[in-house]
Chain A
């Protein structure tokens, strides 16, 4: 599959693809400004979308096997490596699953520090996506680096916000990517009060910058694309959903974080061996910032709630995925404001790492990665070693809905010049912030031979 890599932007005109009469094909051999390696293929025949595929050719790494025979703390280190963009999410879903099984209650200050760590990852990831990956689509640049030539202050602001998120992770976990301190029972080390206080001036300064970011992204003109998706996220009565809460949807799903398997399953679609997640009734659903902002507006930080009300886009965020950049802006503001509050009120934990005893059983939990719900399930033996693992990353859950949206979006842009329409499809995919390296189930999808009828 790598023959396309580095061979150019991959925009193939329809005449070159061997399409039949009346057939138009849109293909991007390697998507750019996404995490990991994927491609897009959309086939329209006689005005009908007959195929819409987000294909993934990331090479498999067998993480669910790599963790077999390992201890819970080793698993926390290993699963972080599923994704360089959201390692904290993997550490969090795993550590909560194990603590739930072992009956460990962590120190309240440890629980707060984990929220702070997640704030750091959300800030870093959302700033990365808004400024470096997604905004260039709206402003018409190939990258943020080119964008900086005309909008240097804007890009510099995005980089400052991104740096702040990374600094939070560095203080708590030693480094921004694959931090080292998360352990079953708490942390291997808790930060001293003065270390966190050093972040406070920059957190204070970042709040108006995040507010400005939100106002800016709300002013970016989205393509017109309205639908009514099934949305799903964690929800908690008092906290914006990070580490804890029930899995809820806007059509009535309401299950515990350990009960993912009772409401959902993974299935293999006919044209692909990628596993996609569905609810048991077969519904495709959408995760991520738009889902969380829609399902949990009442637990947003007051500053973020005020920002959402100011831009007045709650309904558009729900209905138009191109407005996900606004949802990300709301959550960026939320995470910075919550991080500031946590740092300002921080008292070092009495018990940095609660003792625990392994036991056999099933450890299962879900937390909210920046791009959506991340479910882990481990079967442990009596020594506390993993015997079986299932990891369901957000992008594999979103993939079905992304493909459905590609098909739904196509009729409205078919009349555009081919290259422009292809770019719009790419922009649509980037709206979901797909994290392809995460999606351990996503594989070398076989693309049908050109001209061969779609199944």
Chain B
């Protein structure tokens, strides 16, 4: 099984070799809320044009027509969280020319990746009366942990403008123009007053990749990193800054334990925080 380290080196969208006249598009889902594929249907003003420009051959949420491939382009939402999905994504990879992962579940494991810190068996038992009947993995992981991914759209959910840009680029055979800077820059451009500076609200904007339009600060709250870490995010430094500036110590780890918690920089921060807490406890116990 090919493994891509796209967490460490965020996947760079590759340009298709050439434009395909009317690409055959599939949409598939693993473990997720359906919100990212709904974003396709939320492109209401463009949907009929999209359906003309692409041949949508597989999209169970929207059409009863089915196709097992091959697909020129396959959009996949959701994380890998069951043994069947490990096999299924490998099979889907074979059937797809260009495989695009869409959303925080597919690109980082999603909120359900919080179980990756070893809680899964206990959680299963607490939610379901007959846990032995469930076939799930102990982890929820990004698709790029299992197969090579050609492009990704971040976000929980993905942004409709980025989706449209991706589709347009695929149609004409060029590289999609997707911002990879921090939310902070989008905030400045939008003219939003910094919620950290003005109101002391913890905000993950400095370490989070934009693409959302910097919605949260514009709506008077801190960014919660649903687009995941930006490249070279200095998470440890931001966490230390929060702690020094009066953010309750117990709440700092929770800030990073969100919808992209298992993306490496956030994951490492969670693990540092755990080690720190253990160290504190050992000192107290001693």
Contact surface of A with B, Cβ cutoff 8 Å: 1-3, 5-10, 30-37, 58-62, 64-66, 69-71, 74, 77-78, 81-85, 87, 128, 132-133, 136, 142-146, 148, 152, 155-156, 159-160, 162-163, 166, 173-178, 180-181, 183, 188-189, 268, 273, 275, 426, 437, 440-441, 443-444, 446
8 Å CB interface, B130-167 against A: 130, 133-136, 140, 156-157, 159-160
A59 engages B31 (CB within 8 Å): yes
In the complex, the answer to whether B156 meets A81 with C-beta atoms within 8 Å is: yes
* A-B contacts besides A84-B34, A163-B45, A177-B42, 9 pairs, CB < 8 Å: A59-B30, A65-B126, A81-B33, A83-B35, A85-B35, A143-B64, A175-B212, A177-B157, A180-B221
- Chain A interface main SS type: loop
Chain B interface residue count: which class? 35 or more
**Chain B hits for A3, CB < 8 A:** 84, 88
User: Contacts A142-B65, A177-B38 hold; do A268 and B58 have CB atoms under 8 A apart?
Assistant: no
A6-B69, A78-B111, A178-B156 are contacts. A65–B119 as well, Cβ < 8 Å? yes
Given contacts A6-B26, A7-B68, A163-B44, contact A34 B221 (CB under 8 A): no
Is residue B252 within 8 Å, beta carbon to beta carbon, of the partner chain?
Answer: no
Closest to B214 in A: A174
> 8 closest Cβ contacts across the A-B interface?
A84-B35, A143-B63, A174-B215, A159-B44, A163-B44, A188-B220, A65-B123, A61-B112
Q: In the bound complex, what is the Cα–Cα distance between A173 and B44 (angstroms)?
A: 19
| A446-B212 CB under 8 A given contacts A2-B85, A30-B60, A85-B34 | no
**CB of B252, distance to nearest CB on chain A (Å):** 13
Least Cβ–Cβ distance between A452 and chain B, in angstroms: 17
In the complex with contacts A66-B114, A189-B219, A444-B134, A61-B31 CB distance below 8 A: yes
Instruction: Give the distance to chain B from A185, nearest Cβ to Cβ, in Å.
Output: 12
Report which residue of B33, B87, B224 has the largest number of chain A beta carbons within 10 angstroms of its beta carbon: B33
Q: Which of B35, B65, B215 contacts A180 (CB 8 A)?
A: B215
Establish whether residues B220 and A32, one from each chain, have CB atoms under 8 Å apart when the complex forms: no
Contacts of A84 in B (CB 8 A): 32-38, 157
Q: How far is the CA of A162 from the CA of B47 in the complex (A)?
A: 12
Judged by a CB distance under 8 angstroms, whether B247 is at the interface is: no
Q: State the CA gap A142–B34 with chains docked (Å).
A: 20
A162 near B44 with CB under 8 A, answer yes
* Least Cβ–Cβ distance between A107 and chain B, in angstroms: 15
Name the one of A59, A77, A145, A180 contacting B85, with C-beta atoms under 8 angstroms. Answer: A59
Write the nearest CB–CB distance from A187 to chain B, whole angstroms.
Answer: 8
* B62 and A145 within 8 A (CB): yes
Min distance, Cβ B22 to any Cβ of chain A, angstroms: 13
Q: State whether A159 and B45 are in contact (beta carbons under 8 Å apart), knowing that A33-B64, A66-B111, A268-B130 are contacts in the complex.
A: yes
Is B168 interfacial (CB 8 A cutoff)?
no
- How far, in angstroms, from A180 to B65 measured CA to CA in the complex? 35
Q: Is B29 an interface residue (CB 8 A)?
A: yes
Q: How far is the CB of A252 from chain B (nearest CB, A)?
A: 30
Kindly state the separation between the CA atoms of A144 and B82 in the bound complex, as whole angstroms: 32
The 8 Å CB contact of A62, one of B30, B39, B112, is: B112
Contacts of B128 in A (CB 8 A): 60, 273, 441, 443
Say whether A173 contacts B84, CB under 8 Å: no
Chain B nearest Cβ from A431, distance in angstroms = 15
- A159 vs B48: C-alpha distance when bound (angstroms): 10
Who on chain A is nearest to B81 by CB? Answer: A59
Query: Quick check: B63 and A33 within 8 Å, CB to CB?
Result: yes
Residues of A within 8 A of B88 (CB): 2-3, 5
Q: In the complex, A61 Cα to B123 Cα: how many Å?
A: 10
Whether a CB of chain A sits under 8 angstroms from the CB of B256 is: no
What CA separation (Å) do A2 and B216 show in the bound complex? Answer: 36
A133 to B123, CA, bound (A): 34
Does B64 lie within 8 Å of A62, measured CB to CB?
no
Contacting residues, chain A, for B68 (C-beta < 8 A):
6-8
Looking at the assembled complex, report how far the CB atom of B263 sits from the nearest CB atom of chain A, in whole angstroms.
Answer: 16
A155 to B44, CA, bound (A): 10
Nearest residue, chain A, Cβ from B160: A176
How would residues 113 to 130 of chain B score, 1 for a CB under 8 Å from any chain A CB and 0 otherwise?
A: 011000110011011111
Chain A residue numbers with a CB within 8 Å of B33 are 81-84, 87, 437
Output the least CB separation between A414 and chain B (Å): 22
A-chain residues with CB within 8 Å of residue B81 when the two chains form the complex? 59, 61
The answer on a CB contact under 8 Å between B38 and A7 is no
Which residues of A sit under 8 angstroms from B157, Cβ to Cβ? 84, 175, 177-178
Q: Write out the residue numbers on chain B whose beta carbons fall within 8 Å of the beta carbon of A152.
A: 48
B119 touches A5 (CB 8 A): no
Kindly list chain A residues whose C-beta atoms are within 8 Å of the C-beta of B160: 176
Q: Please tell me if the beta carbons of B44 and A166 are within 8 angstroms of each other in the complex.
A: yes
B92 partner residues in chain A, CB cutoff 8 A: 6
Interface residues of B in 234-258 (CB under 8 A from A): 251, 254, 258
Contact B111 A175 (CB under 8 A): no
Known: A3-B84, A174-B218, A273-B130. A145 touches B63 (CB 8 A): yes
In the complex the two chains form, is B66's CB within 8 Å of A144's CB?
A: no
Task: Chain A residues near B215: list those with CB within 8 A.
Answer: 174-175, 180
| 9 pairs from A and B in contact (CB 8 Å cutoff) | A6-B92, A6-B95, A32-B64, A33-B64, A85-B34, A132-B41, A148-B51, A162-B44, A189-B220
**Is the C-beta of B75 less than 8 angstroms from some C-beta in chain A?**
no
B86-101 CB mask vs A (1 if < 8 Å, else 0) is: 0110001001000000
Q: How far is the CA of A313 from the CA of B126 in the complex (A)?
A: 45
Residues of A within 8 A of B95 (CB): 6
For residue A62, which residues in chain B have a CB less than 8 angstroms away from its CB? 112, 115, 120, 123-124, 127
- Cβ A178 vs Cβ B35 within 8 A: yes
Question: Which residues of A lie under 8 Å from residue B224 when comparing CB positions?
Answer: 77
The complex places the Cα of A30 from the Cα of B66 at a distance, in Å, of 10
Is B28 interfacial (CB 8 A cutoff)? Answer: yes
Query: Are B84 and A32 in contact, with the CB atoms below 8 A?
Result: no
User: Would you call A6 and B66 a contact (CB within 8 A)?
Assistant: yes
Whether the Cβ atoms of A143 and B62 lie closer than 8 Å is: yes
Chain A residues, Cβ within 8 Å of B134: 60, 273, 443-444
Q: Are B61 and A32 in touch, CB under 8 angstroms?
A: yes
